[in-house]
Amino acid sequence: MDYSVAIAFMIIFYLLPFMLLTASCLATAVFMYKAVKRRTNITNADQSHSPNKRRDNPKLAVLKTIAIMQIGFTTTLLPLVIVSSLFYADCLDCDNIAQPYIVCFYLSMTNSLVNFVVYSARERDFWNEVVDIFRPGYLKELSVHSAAQSPRKGKNLSKKMDSCRTVIETYKRQQPK
């Protein structure tokens, strides 16, 4: 059989994105290393550590995010590429590829879950909102709040909660007894 189309498909949709992600991860790591090293040298000469550390923290967070993306992408995609390569190398045939391919295919689909963890779950505001949602009585407060007044975007969580409590107290006072 001629597998040239399938191999080209694998290269375009699996290997190329993997190589681009790896290159961007390595370039970011090299850039970050040089920037932090340069700032450390300047900081040691100036003896003022705190401003440079604050500036480096977002950059280190970006590097950490890209590294997690790389690890997640590799972990979820590599088994599918290996099983497909074994098939194209005639180590696996149509009789014995179905089960490993399905397992590896769905493992590669979990990359979406990895992306959720990388982009959402690492954010402190996200976790504060998740914890707040599972707090007892939150949904009741939210339904009363949204019925009385729509929440404004851009306010911090404590202001939202104070506003929500005020609306609930007003609502309770207006209810007939």
Grade residue 18 by pLDDT with cuts at 50, 70 and 90: confident
The contacts of residue 72 (CB under 8 Å, 6+ apart) are: 111, 114, 115, 117, 118
pLDDT on residue 145:
60
Predicted confidence at residue 156, as pLDDT, reads: 56
Ranges of each domain in the chain: 4-122, 128-174
40 CB-near residues (< 8 Å, 6+ apart): 52
pLDDT given for residue 23 in this prediction: 87
CA distance 159 to 132: 14
pLDDT attached to residue 103:
92
Mean pLDDT of the chain: 75
Instruction: Please tell me the predicted confidence (pLDDT) of residue 161.
Output: 64
Q: Residue range 27-45: average pLDDT?
A: 74
pLDDT digits (tens, 9 = 90+) for 105-140: 998 888 878 777 777 777 777 777 777 777 787 767
Q: Which of 28-42, 100-114, 130-144 has the highest mean pLDDT?
A: 100-114
Which distant-in-sequence residues (6+ apart) come within 8 Å of 49 by Cβ?
43
Indicate yes or no: pTM above 0.75.
no
Indicate the burial class of 83 (C-beta count within 10 angstroms; 0-12, 13-18, 19 or more).
buried
For 89-93, what is the mean pLDDT?
A: 87
Q: How far apart are CA 69 and CA 108, in angstroms?
A: 13
